[in-house]
C-alpha cells in the first residue's frame, strides 16, 4: 500500500517537474539577464536604462551562454521586410542574401517579404534552410503612406498565421544590410532600436512630434531615447499591440488633419510601453557616417537614406 502511494507520489512529482521544465523551456524570458549580460563591460556607453532594460552593445553579452540556452529551445524567428519600388530593385536581393548569412544563424528563420504583386518571388538562389513567404501589397503603394500599408499588411498576417509560426518577429526595410552576426541576444518581448544619429545628440533636439493635438506628441522634457523606425522586434502579440495603437493613432490624427510619421508614433508607443530590450546603434548604423569609437562592431548598415 505504502509502496503504491509512494509510486503515485513519485509519478505526480515527476509530472510536476516535467511541467515546470516544459514551462521553463517554452518561455525564453526565463533566462536570467545576469546569466548572459554584463552592463559593466562597457563603461563608454549606456548599457542599462532607468527602467532596467539592457542596451545591447558588443562586449556586453556572452554568445556562448545565449547559445547554450536557446539551443535547447525549438525556436523560430520571423523577419518581415518591406521592399517596394526602387528600394526593392536596388537592395532586396542583397538584403535577403545578407540576412541568410547573418540573421539568427543556426536557428529556424522565416522571412516575410512584403512587396508589390508585379514583382517576382525573390530568393531563388537562397539557402533551402531559410523559408520565405511573399505577401503582396497594392502596386500603387506610393499613393498611400507606405508605413500604414506595411503595418496593416503585417497586422493582418500576424493575426492569420504569423502568430502561430514564430516565437519572435522583427521588422526591417530592404535598404538595410546585415554585415555581422545578428543573433539571439536581440530577442525580447519589445525590442527597440536606438537611432544611430540621435543617440549621440542632445534629447532636447530629438525630432519627436511636438504638436500637442497629435496622438504621437511627446512634450519637451519628456522621452527617453530617440528610436529608429527602421528596426523593431518583439513577440507577435506585442507587435500586434504596437500596430493597433499606431493605426488608431493615425486614424485619430487624420480626423484632426494631422499626419505624424510612423517613427513619431513609434517613439510615443515606446515612451508609454517601455521596450524590454534596446539595440545599440551597432544594429542599424547609417553607412554615410564614419562610426565613432563606441560603435565597434556594426551588425546592420543602413544605406544612406538620402541617396535612395
Which residues carry out catalysis? 263
Per CB under 6 A, the list member of 74, 117, 213, 288 interacting with ligand NAG is 74
Give the single-character DSSP code of 136: E
Contacts of 143 (CB under 8 A, 6+ apart): none
Q: Of 112 and 285, which has the nearer Cβ to ligand NAG?
A: 112
Q: Of 158 and 279, which has the nearer Cβ to ligand NAG?
A: 158
The β-bridge partners of 232 are 171, 192
The grid cell for 100 is: 541568410
Judged by CB under 6 A, how many residues of this single chain contact ligand NAG?
A: 4
Distance CA 97, CA 94 (A): 5
Kindly state the smallest distance separating residue 108's Cβ from ligand NAG, in Å.
Answer: 7
Distance CA 177, CA 156 (A): 26
- For residue 64, the surrounding DSSP H or E stretch is helix 63-70
Per CB under 6 A, the list member of 38, 62, 76, 133 interacting with ligand NAG is 76
**Among the listed residues 189, 166, 182, the one whose alpha carbon sits nearest the alpha carbon of residue 63:** 182
Q: Of 93 and 165, which has the nearer Cβ to ligand NAG?
A: 165
The grid cell for 294 is: 563606441
Kindly state the smallest distance separating residue 172's Cβ from ligand NAG, in Å.
Answer: 20
Kindly state the smallest distance separating residue 261's Cβ from ligand NAG, in Å.
Answer: 4
Distance CA 153, CA 247 (A): 12
Per CB under 6 A, the list member of 49, 179, 261, 296 interacting with ligand NAG is 261
Kindly state the smallest distance separating residue 143's Cβ from ligand NAG, in Å.
Answer: 13
The grid cell for 226 is: 530617440
Give the single-character DSSP code of 75: -
Q: Of 98 and 260, which has the nearer Cβ to ligand NAG?
A: 260
Q: Of 179 and 261, which has the nearer Cβ to ligand NAG?
A: 261
**Among the listed residues 216, 218, 192, the one whose alpha carbon sits nearest the alpha carbon of residue 275:** 192
Q: Of 17 and 259, which has the nearer Cβ to ligand NAG?
A: 259
The grid cell for 284 is: 542599424
The yes or no reply on residue 259 touching ligand NAG (CB under 6 A) is yes
The yes or no reply on residue 27 touching ligand NAG (CB under 6 A) is no
The yes or no reply on residue 117 touching ligand NAG (CB under 6 A) is no
Distance CA 85, CA 137 (A): 12
Contact in structure between 275 and 268 (CB atoms under 8 Å) = no
Residues that bind ligand NAG (CB under 6 A): 74, 76, 259, 261
Amino acid at each position: 500500500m505504502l509502496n503504491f502511494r509512494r509510486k503515485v507520489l513519485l509519478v505526480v512529482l515527476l509530472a510536476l517537474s516535467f511541467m515546470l521544465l516544459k514551462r521553463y523551456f517554452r518561455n525564453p524570458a526565463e533566462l536570467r539577464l545576469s546569466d548572459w549580460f554584463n552592463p559593466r563591460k562597457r563603461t563608454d556607453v549606456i548599457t542599462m536604462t532607468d527602467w532596467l532594460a539592457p542596451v545591447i552593445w558588443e562586449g556586453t553579452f556572452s554568445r556562448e551562454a545565449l547559445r547554450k540556452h536557446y539551443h535547447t529551445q525549438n525556436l523560430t524567428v520571423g523577419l518581415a521586410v518591406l521592399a517596394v519600388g526602387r528600394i526593392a530593385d536596388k537592395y532586396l536581393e542583397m538584403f535577403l542574401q545578407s540576412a541568410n548569412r547573418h540573421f539568427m544563424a543556426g536557428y529556424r528563420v522565416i522571412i516575410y517579404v512584403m512587396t508589390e504583386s508585379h514583382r517576382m518571388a525573390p530568393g531563388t538562389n537562397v539557402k533551402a534552410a531559410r523559408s520565405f513567404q511573399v505577401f503582396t501589397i497594392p502596386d500603387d503603394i506610393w499613393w498611400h503612406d507606405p508605413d500604414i500599408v506595411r503595418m496593416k499588411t503585417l497586422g493582418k498576417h500576424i493575426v492569420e498565421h504569423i502568430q502561430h509560426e514564430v516565437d519572435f518577429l522583427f521588422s526591417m526595410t530592404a535598404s538595410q544590410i546585415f554585415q555581422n552576426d545578428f543573433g539571439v541576444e536581440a530577442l525580447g518581448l519589445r525590442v527597440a532600436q536606438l537611432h544611430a544619429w540621435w543617440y549621440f545628440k542632445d534629447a532636447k533636439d530629438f525630432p519627436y512630434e511636438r504638436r500637442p493635438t497629435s496622438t504621437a506628441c511627446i512634450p519637451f522634457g519628456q522621452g527617453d531615447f530617440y528610436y529608429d523606425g527602421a528596426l523593431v522586434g518583439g513577440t507577435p502579440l506585442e507587435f500586434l499591440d504596437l500596430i493597433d495603437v499606431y493605426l488608431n493613432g493615425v486614424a485619430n490624427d487624420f480626423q484632426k488633419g494631422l499626419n505624424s510619421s510612423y517613427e513619431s508614433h513609434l517613439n510615443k508607443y515606446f515612451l508609454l510601453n517601455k521596450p524590454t530590450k534596446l539595440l545599440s546603434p551597432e544594429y542599424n548604423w547609417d553607412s554615410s557616417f564614419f562610426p565613432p569609437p563606441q560603435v565597434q562592431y556594426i551588425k546592420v548598415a543602413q544605406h544612406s537614406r538620402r541617396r535612395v
